[in-house]
Amino acid sequence: MGLLKFLIYFVMCHVIVSNVYAKNEEYTGFKVYNVKLETEEQQYKFEILKSDVIGYWRKPSVKFNITGQAMVPPSHFKWFEEKLTELGVAKDISIEDVFEYLSWKEEVAEKILRNEEDKMFSFDDYYRYNDILNYIRTLETAHENSTDINFKVIDAGLTAEGRPLIYIKVTSQAATSEKPIIIIEAGINPREWITIPTSLNIVNKLLDQSYNKFINNFEWIIIPVLNPDGYEYTHTNLRLWTKSRSIQSHLGAICPGVNINRNFDVDWLSFDSSSSPCSHIYGGPEAFSEVETRLIKSLLDSNEKRIRLYVSLQNNGGFISYPWQYERAASGMFVQQHLLGLSMIEAMQEHYNLGVSSEVYGDRASGTSTDFMRKNGVLYTFNIDIVPRSEDSVIIPREEITTIAEDVWRAVSVAADNLL
């Protein structure tokens, strides 16, 4: 092979092998439509506005007056607009080009960052997974000889891409071995970055002496990043990625990833789930096929009777909700859940709605973590869906993290107080 031929060959291979898309470029031309439903009938028929390729940033809810936001690829504009007409919903585009929009958001964020000196880890910013891990391990070392606080980082195996999956256990050294447990899960949907500093803020509060009673009376399990592979991918490739990066399915090499919050064994693959590996709501080759879901299952299996409260932090529209999400009905004992939820939203400064998950989301979904916990005997399981203060519900600017995280802490601490 001549040198020139070789060079051409090399360049061509390189182009093919390296990812053909620059960051977020796959969203070029995608639009976001506002979906404002006015009647119960429209809500009932909402299904017709869904498909494997339509990505909802937020689902519409008539009952809670929530305007949905649907991200639609160019191939489906016509289809989607026809369905809107069929449903009697006015066409209303909120973002003309998602790629442009994300680039602009990033530019704004970077400008602010560049204006600051290199700073220490803090709770008012977003960090890459390694930085988060380092921070947490530093906390663990700092408390290794503490006679007051028992702080442990537990390794729960490796993700598909080889990242350590970890969770934090924090409680007081006061040795009643069988304390009730509170679990806080964050980052199940990797693009919902806001959940991660929100969970780390809870860790920080628990280490604060003025909140001693919470670690004296409970053992806390915090999973700050349940889906690290997906989270890193939202930093490096696609900001709006919703899945893990595992490649177990028959199409794994082409379409990696499983939607972790559709992979639990509750009515698996029935609603708002897809059996297509290329879909953003792919439920996996089977329930619990993923190391991330199995981590939650193992927490249940090893602590079943002790789990008092399970909270999944998400970012979809400003509400606290309780099971069921897979059924249009509440679970047994929902009055207790509603009352505890009421105390939580009353403690918050922002306005949050409260209700049954399938109702507040305006849609059913199978295979979710909170339904799974409820199905297995945990009485208090909530999704806290963080309020989007910005015009969209996905990209929360870093300036808003502290206010949001503090509000969620109010809700969580009031719940813990009530369960003392």
Ligand X SMILES: *[C@@H]1O[C@H](CO)[C@@H](O)[C@H](O)[C@H]1NC(C)=O
CA angle in degrees (0–180, nearest 5) for 240-245-249: 120
Under the binding rule (CB under 6 A), the answer on residue 391 touching ligand X is no
* Cα radius of gyration rounded to whole Å, the chain: 22
Cross-strand partners of 314: 385
Q: Which is nearer to ligand X, 139 or 356 (CB)?
A: 139
Q: Is 90 in the site for ligand X (CB under 6 A)?
A: no
- Residue 40 CB, shortest distance to ligand X, in Å, is 14
Q: Which is nearer to ligand X, 141 or 343 (CB)?
A: 141
CB-count exposure of residue 416 (10 Å: 0-12, 13-18, 19+): buried
How far apart, in Å, do the first and last CA atoms of the chain sit?
Answer: 76
Among 67, 204, 303, 402, binds ligand X (CB under 6 A): 67
Q: Are 325 and 371 in contact (CB under 8 A)?
A: yes
Are 298 and 402 within 8 A, CB to CB?
A: no
149 or 278: whose CB is closer to ligand X? 149
CA distance 321 to 360: 7
Minimum distance from residue 141 beta carbon to ligand X (Å): 6
Q: How far is the CB of 145 from ligand X (least distance, A)?
A: 4
Sites for ligand X among residues 105-164 (CB under 6 A) = 141-142, 144-145
Q: Does 177 bind ligand X (CB under 6 A)?
A: no
Nearer to ligand X, 141 or 176 (CB): 141
Q: Please compute, for residue 371, the number of CA atoms within 13 A of its CA located in the half-sphere on the CB side.
A: 24
Q: Please, what is the minimum distance in Å from the beta carbon of residue 109 to ligand X?
A: 25
Contact between 390 and ligand X per CB under 6 A: no
DSSP H helices, 115-259, are 129-142, 195-206, 212-217, 228-236
**What's the maximum distance between 2 C-alpha atoms anywhere in the chain?**
78
Looking at the Cβ atoms of 107 and 144, the one nearer to ligand X is 144
Interface with ligand X (CB under 6 A), residue from 19, 39, 65, 236 = 65
Measured CA angle at 127 (ends 384, 247), to 5 deg: 80
| CB 54, min distance to ligand X, A | 21
Residue 375 Cβ vs ligand X, minimum distance, rounded to whole Å: 33
Closer to ligand X at the Cβ: 22 or 142? 142
CB 162, min distance to ligand X, A: 29
Identify whether the C-beta of residue 263 lies closer than 8 Å to the C-beta of residue 288: yes
| Residue list 178-237, contact with ligand X (CB under 6 A) | none
Interacting residues toward ligand X by CB under 6 A: 65, 67, 141-142, 144-145
